[in-house]
Amino acid sequence: MATKQLPQIAILGAGIFVKTQYLPRLSEISHLFILKSIWSRTQESATAAVDIARKHFPQVETKWGDNGFDDIIHDGSIDAVAVVLAGQNQVDISLRLLKAGKHVLQEKPAASCTSELEAALSSYKSISSDAPGQLIWSVAENYRFEPGLVECKKLIAGIGKMMSVQVIIEGSMNSSNPYFSSSWRRNFTGGFILDMGVHFIAGLRMLVGCEIVSVSAMTSHVDLTLPPPDNISSVFHLENGCSGVFVMVVSSRSPKTLWRVVGLNGTLQVERGFQGQHGYLVSFYGTDGQNKSSFFPFSGVTEELKAFINDVSEITLKKRNQFVTEPRLSYVEGARDVAVLEAMLESGARQGELVRLKKF
């Protein structure tokens, strides 16, 4: 019997996102890799995640604590590791894994601030230059893989010269949300604005296809059950000369996720919706007064995981030298999302002063 070689991966983390997203989505593509182990700080939480995973990955091992982490680091059969931990610890752990020669898919945000991003990128550079082959450090940002946003990227040229951009986010991060009590998100500078906001900035950057050069913002703390700030209103300026607004309320009674770009020849809008499934409704309004809409169900997490596993397979199994990895997964892309929000938060702390973006 021919045995097809598959990359072997481990997951670090056994929280809500691993149990409700990683494991179900990975099970859809279980023919593409072998899930070797799941690690958590405590045996109890690692076991709870492994119990869920066993249905699709019968051979998965339970690892916990310092010893379990060392086992993963020293296990030469593990090609890649998904790091799905508290935002404050991810960079440190990712760098330790990279040093051990593992490819890493780290959950967003890429880091908690730009000084950490700078240090991270310089460590990665030196680790990579010592590594015998190509070493991947990816940031898992599913919005860059959402079919609705990918479709918009294809349509954007049709609106002609860009005149205005709006990003309106009214979240529903109240006590019914499973992440509401997450302690690390509450102990994060920028609170939910940074942790959730990187998704919407990723969508914005992808849609407009150029970088943000400067921002000005007002922030406030209104809902005292949330960490500060919980709302932000920002003006941003794009490299292409166009400007726009980014408004985000962490917890509202009116859930809304919308990007809208108005151009000389048309308008493109993408809005979260529900048509039997959750997804994005993409609408194009043309010069002839016509509008066209299509609905794209969510599948960003699956697509992003598939892309990472493909990159790992190409490099470790097919030994393809100088293989060009998926650009939407690159660490630098994740870094740029964080830099935009940090600049907005910084401007907010200084009553709207114009802040120029750090370039990554």
Ligand X SMILES: *[C@@H]1O[C@H](CO)[C@@H](O)[C@H](O)[C@H]1NC(C)=O
- With contacts defined by CB under 6 A, name the span among 31-39, 56-64, 204-212, 214-222 that binds ligand X: 214-222
Which of positions 255-314 make contact with ligand X (CB under 6 A)? 255, 265, 291
89 contributes a contact to ligand X by CB under 6 A? no
Which of positions 234-263 make contact with ligand X (CB under 6 A)? 253, 255
Question: Which residues, in sequence order, are bridge partners of residue 246?
Answer: 167, 234
Distance of closest approach, residue 158 Cβ to ligand X, in angstroms: 6
Distance of closest approach, residue 278 Cβ to ligand X, in angstroms: 13
209 contributes a contact to ligand X by CB under 6 A? no
Query: Which one, 47 or 174, has the nearer CB to ligand X?
Result: 174
Distance of closest approach, residue 218 Cβ to ligand X, in angstroms: 4
Show the beta-strand stretches assigned E in the chain. 8-12, 34-40, 61-64, 80-83, 103-107, 137-140, 162-172, 212-220, 231-238, 243-249, 251-263, 266-274, 278-286, 291-297, 355-356
Query: Which one, 221 or 320, has the nearer CB to ligand X?
Result: 221
Query: Which one, 184 or 323, has the nearer CB to ligand X?
Result: 184
Neighbours of 154 (CB within 10 A): 9
Query: Which one, 231 or 257, has the nearer CB to ligand X?
Result: 231
Kindly give the pairing relationship between strand 8-12 and strand 34-40.
parallel
Question: Which residues, in sequence order, are bridge partners of residue 138?
Answer: 105, 330
Query: Which one, 182 or 325, has the nearer CB to ligand X?
Result: 182
The tally of CA atoms less than 13 A away on the side-chain side of residue 125 is 7
- With contacts defined by CB under 6 A, name the span among 103-111, 141-149, 225-233, 273-281 that binds ligand X: 225-233
Distance of alpha carbon 94 from alpha carbon 250, whole angstroms: 28
Size of the site for ligand X (CB under 6 A): 20
- With contacts defined by CB under 6 A, name the span among 45-53, 68-76, 226-234, 316-324 that binds ligand X: 226-234
Query: Which one, 36 or 260, has the nearer CB to ligand X?
Result: 260
Binds ligand X (CB under 6 A): choice among 45, 90, 106, 219: 219
- Is-contact 105 22, C-beta < 8 A? no
- With contacts defined by CB under 6 A, name the span among 59-67, 69-77, 213-221, 323-331 that binds ligand X: 213-221
3-class state of residue 322 by DSSP? coil
CA dihedral (77, 308, 310, 207) in degrees, to 10, reads -170
Distance of alpha carbon 95 from alpha carbon 91, whole angstroms: 6
Binds ligand X (CB under 6 A): choice among 21, 27, 47, 88: 88
Distance of closest approach, residue 135 Cβ to ligand X, in angstroms: 27
231 contributes a contact to ligand X by CB under 6 A? yes
Cα 209–chain centre separation: 17
Distance of alpha carbon 32 from alpha carbon 35, whole angstroms: 10
Which of positions 10-69 make contact with ligand X (CB under 6 A)? none
- 97's tokens: 């894994």
| Per-residue x/- track, 162-201, ligand X (CB under 6 A) | ----------x-xxx------x---x--------------
Distance of alpha carbon 32 from alpha carbon 211, whole angstroms: 34
Close Cβ partners of 179 (under 8 Å, ≥ 6 residues apart): 16, 173, 185
Binds ligand X (CB under 6 A): choice among 6, 34, 218, 245: 218
Distance of alpha carbon 243 from alpha carbon 240, whole angstroms: 9
Judged by the rule CB under 6 A, the positions of this chain that interact with ligand X are 88, 158, 160, 172, 174-176, 183, 187, 218-220, 222, 231-233, 253, 255, 265, 291
